[in-house]
Amino acid sequence: MRDAYIVTAIRTPGCRRNKGALADTRPEALLSFILDKAVSMTNGLAKKDVEDIMVGCSFPEAEQGLNVGRICSQIAGFPKETTGATVNRFCASGLEAIVEASMRVMVGFSECTIGAGLESMTFVPMGGNLPRPYPDWTKNHPDMYVSMGITAENVATRYNVSRQDQDEFAYQSHMKAAVARDNGKFIEVIPTPATKFVEQADGTFKKETFIQSVDDGIRDTTTIEGLASLRPVFSATGSVTAGNSSQTTDGAAASIIMSGDMVKKLGVKPLARLVSYATVGCEPDEMGIGPALAIPKALAKAGLKVEDIGLYEINEAFASQALYCMRELGLDKPGQVEKINIHGGAIALGHPLGCTGAKLAATLLNNMRTKGVKYGVESMCIGGGMGAAAVFELVE
C-alpha cells in the first residue's frame, strides 16, 4: 500500500458561537475560503489536480447541508470534475475526512485529495435544528442521546476527577493559548475574510467585511478563583462548568494529501504521512474516555509506544475527560504532560465539532515540523460513545 503525504494543513481562526467574529459568516464562505487557500499555498498544485474532497461536518444540514463538501468545492472554484463528499463521525468528522481522503491515495484511487472539516455552531446549533431520537430505542437506551455535559459529569464522578483539577486544567489551557497567540505560534491559522451586519442610523443593517486573524475565545484574564466561582452547568451537585468545558465554536480547516508520485512531480515538501488510525466504542454515557482506548489501539497498529510520541493533540471536550485519559495513559507524569496540547486546547480555542479533527491535525502537524518531532498523535472522544486516534510521522 502506498504512503499518503499531507503537504499542507491550515485552518481558519476558531471563533465563539453567536458572540464571536465569525457569527455572521456563513459556513460555506469559511470552507470555500480555506479550500482555496490550501491549494494556493501548495507549490505547483492546481485545483484541477485535486480529484476528491472529503469534508467532516457533525450537523450537515441547513447552511451546512446538501453535501457541503461538493457545494463548497464549486464555490471555491474547483472544476466540475473534482468531486466532494460530506463525512460524519460527530466529533471526529474532520479527522475521519482526512483519513478517508488519505485512504483514497493509499489504495491508488487518487493522486491528490483534500481532507477538511467544517462547523458553524452559530448557524446550526448543537443537536441540529430538528433532532428526532428513535422513540422505541430511547425507552431503554436514553444514554445514546444524553447531553455530552452529563457524560463529562459521569466521567468526573466515576473516575474521581476533582473540580479543582478540572479548573486548573482549564486555566492552563487558556494560559498556554494566550502565550502561543502572543508569540505567533499558531502558524497554521490563516487570516480569514469575515462578515458582520452593522446597524445604520436609519435602523437598517449594512453588510461589512473584515479579516479575522486570531482565535477569539482565549481568555488571558482567566484566574483559578474565577473558574472556581462558576456554577455547575449540567448537574446541581456536579463539577463540570462552562469554564472547564470546551467552547462551542465556528471554523473550518483543510489538509492537502498526495501520493509519493505527486509529491515528486510537484517537488513539494510534505509535512507528514499518516501512519495509523483507530476507532473504538465505549459506553455512550461516558463517551469522554474514548481517547484512552483509541490511542493505545492506534499506537499498536503503528508498532509504537506512548513514550515514542513527541506531541499529542487530545481534544479538550471537557477537562474531566481529558484528565482521565491523560492519567489512564500515563501522560500526566513529568516528561509526558509537557507533550499534551502545547498551545492550549478546546477549552481555550474551541471545539467546532465536525471541524475539530481537521483543525487539530493542522495544529499538530505544524507543531511537529516546528519542533522536529518524529511522531505525533491526535485523538478525541466522540458523542454516542466512541474514540478516535491517528498517528502521524514527520517527513524529514
Residues with catalytic annotation? 91, 351, 381
For residue 214, the number of C-alpha atoms closer than 13 Å in the C-beta half-sphere is: 14
What crossing angle do the helices spanning 68-75 and 27-40 adopt, rounded to 10°? Answer: 60
What is the DSSP code string of 195-231? Answer: EEEEE-TTS-EEEEEEEE-S-S---TT--HHHHHTSP
Is 113 in contact with 101 (CB distance < 8 Å)? yes
Query: Please, which residues have CB within 8 angstroms of residue 65's CB and are 6 or more apart in sequence?
Result: none
Report long-range pairs for 70-78 (Cβ below 8 Å, ≥24 apart).
71/28, 72/28, 72/31, 72/32, 72/35, 72/118, 73/32, 73/35, 75/28, 75/29, 75/32, 76/31, 76/32, 76/33, 76/35, 76/36, 76/47, 77/36, 77/47, 78/35, 78/47, 78/48, 78/50, 78/53
Indicate left, alpha or beta for 127 from its phi (over 0: left) and psi (-120 to 50: alpha): left
